[in-house]
Structure 1
Amino acid sequence: MTDATIEVAGLRKRFGATLALDGMSFAVPPGRVTGFVGPNGAGKSTTMRVILALDSADAGTALVGGVPYRKLKRPLCTVGSLLDAGALQPSRTARNHLLWLAHSQGLPASRVDAVLRTAGIDSVARRRAGGFSLGMRQRLGIAAALLGDPPALMLDEPFNGMDPEGIIWMRGFLRSLAAEGRAVLVSSHLMSELQDVADHVVVVGRGRVIADVGVADLLASVAAGRVTVRGAVAGAAAVLGDAGARVTVTGPDTLVVAGLPAQTVVAHLTRAGVPFAEISAHRATLEEAYLELTRDAVEYQGVPR
């Protein structure tokens, strides 16, 4: 499959007094799912729109496979996208909606039928799209993004409106796209879903990148060797504090220890004869890491700069 790395470098974009993008730079290589997360107003949607030439940047570049979107002869065959599941003519059937898109790219009707099956909506292909639920419109948007069998995909909030079955399907679907060697960029506010599918995450705030890191590395840094201890709080806190740990009491029988690995905590408490019911290494979540990283990146208020 053709390498269609998505690259943005030094993007700047201002809407009147609001600075939407302030040097946004990152890359989405093939073969992995990259999560794109940040608070409302962080610049995620604007970045995607600039990549797709729906907005023009004031400075910087946005390339797919080394080429600006405007110069792609058959753009749907290079990058597929879903930015707004409601962007369709409601009186058209699902199949006809895809047929006119396919025609614009010189793609056969057989390709339409193939993506309808992939998205799981072939049974409703002749229903008017205006009567679809949000989850079904999401699937139709995904089918449209797949029409040209593109090596790069960008999906904005694809989990929205999905029922539990649809969410499970979406997880497997995104992983399968990356496994096929595609570059996949997924924006979502559902951190628990991204944690299950993303290999890498780009965290943004106030129009710039805050973190560009592997999900496993990010979670490890947030966990920071913390250990939860349940048992005799007072005795454990004294022993572990003397051993150099940072101890925080979080409940009547629970404390969190930082600075000592779990096995060392066990050794100190056992040696001191302090009873405990449970000792477990802290498991960080992507949501926890996100909140810590974006603590100061509140929605941009448009102060002129």
Structure 2
Amino acid sequence: MEASIEVDGLRKRFGAVAALDGMSFTVAPGRVTGFVGPSGAGKSTTLRVVLGLDVAQEGRALVGGRPYRSLGEPSRHVGALLDAGALQPGRTARNHLLWLAHAQGAGARRVDEVAELVGLGAAIRRRAGSLSHGSRQRLGLAAALLGDPPILVLDEPFTGLDPQEAAWLGGVLRGLAGEGRAVLVASRLMSRVQDTAGHLVVAGRGRVVADLGVDELVADASRGRFTVRTGAREAAMAVLAGAGATVAACGPEVLTVSGLAGRERVEQVLNGAAVPYTEIVAHRATLEEAYMELTR
């Protein structure tokens, strides 16, 4: 089965609300694709259509070249984690996985393999209802991997994880993509997406706003922007703004400057007004800054 997701022209309304308005993108194998956008952008509805949980009024969503509902053994084609809390709280984590494995035709050996892969450790013997949110996310990922699928769809997998857990999960997802899987991650946590995804689909008002590499988006947002370090912040802001720059204070002695023609022009303006500074460097935008600029 081809490891890809194809979303083509999805349109769906809930009454007067257009949840999807021509949503189109492709998730390619061998990389993690981040799916981001504000609340109401259509992310969750798109994932539900991809996984056959909802039906679009127009367009199509294919996994491995086929509609999800046509798959004979879907867990062997697509693994999904939409809600880490969707489990029976009185069942142990291992029994939860055993129950799912039995339904999918897998055995106890596969349960132990995925439990080790996601690092469940001693939590595998605890009741699911007593697990921390981070352990529930690991359990949900283990369940998604039971069928060893070539496609993974994850909704907000970083929510509730501490920095160490989030960094670990990012590494696991990149490793899975490195094996040739297509990995789609919907998330509001831009720093985690930046550390994990190689490609980005930005949604807004039910359609795709941008579809490009993470590095490309960050580079575009960084272009023409400079970081200035100065002990005379107020004077520097005034003189730079007077020269036509857009200036933002990022700290007691740090400014971000855009709108001037290069580093030399920033230097010229500051030197001409005798405003002292210690450093002027090209600004490296964060993914969050790039996202805010794109969706503003």
Q: Contact between 1:227 and 1:258, CA under 8 Å: does it hold in 2?
A: no
Correspondence 1:1-305 to 2 at 5 A: 2-231=1-230, 246-250=244-248, 254=255, 256-262=257-263, 264-265=264-265, 268=268, 275-295=276-296
Distance 1:250 1:271, change over 3 A: closer
RMSD over equivalenced CA pairs, Å: 2.5
Structure 1 distance, partners of 2:271, 2:17, is 60
Whole-angstrom distance in 2 between the partners of 1:163 and 1:97: 24
Distance 2:52 2:295 in 1: 28
Contact 1:226 1:260 in 2 (8 A): no
Q: How far apart, CA to CA, are the structure 2 residues paired with 1:164 and 1:235?
A: 36
By how many angstroms is 1:170 displaced?
A: 0.9
State TM-score, norm by structure 1: 0.87
**SS at the partner of 1:222?**
helix
Aligned 8 A contact 1:236 1:269 in 2? no
Where does the alignment leave 5 or more consecutive residues of structure 2 unmatched? none
3-state SS in 1 of match to 2:176: helix
Change (3 A) 1:29 1:88: same
Query: Does the CA contact (< 8 Å) of 1:5 and 1:64 recur in 2?
Result: yes
- Which residues of structure 1 form unaligned runs of 5+? 296-305
Do the aligned partners of residues 267 and 17 (structure 1) sit closer, same or farther apart at CA in structure 2, a change above 3 Å counting?
Answer: closer
Taking a change above 3 Å as real, the CA distance of residues 277 and 100 of structure 1, as seen in their structure-2 partners, is same
Do the aligned partners of residues 279 and 13 (structure 1) sit closer, same or farther apart at CA in structure 2, a change above 3 Å counting? same
Q: 1:235 to 1:35 in 2, by over 3 A?
A: closer
Q: Secondary structure at the match of 2:278?
A: strand
Cα distance change, pair 49–250 in 1 and its aligned pair in 2 (3 A): closer
Give yes or no for contact 2:221–2:290 (8 Å, CA) kept in 1.
yes
Q: Percent identity?
A: 62
Aligned length, in residue pairs:
290
Following superposition, the deviation at residue 257 of structure 1 comes to: 4.0
Question: Offset at 1:246?
Answer: 4.4
SS of equivalent residue, structure 1 residue 158: coil
Displacement of 1:225 in angstroms is: 1.8
- 1:93–1:125 CA contact under 8 A, matched in 2: yes
Q: Which amino acid aligns with 1:289?
A: A
Paired with 2:77 and 2:294, the residues of 1 have a C-alpha distance of 33
Structure 1 residue 250: Cα displacement: 3.9
Deviates more, 1:206-215 or 1:14-23: 14-23
Equivalent-residue separation in structure 2 for 1:257 and 1:212 (angstroms): 25
Which moved further from structure 2: 223-232 or 269-278? Answer: 269-278
Between stretches 78-87 and 101-110, larger displacement belongs to 101-110
Task: Please state how far the C-alpha of 1:259 moved relative to its aligned partner.
Answer: 4.1
1:247 is matched by which residue type in structure 2?
A
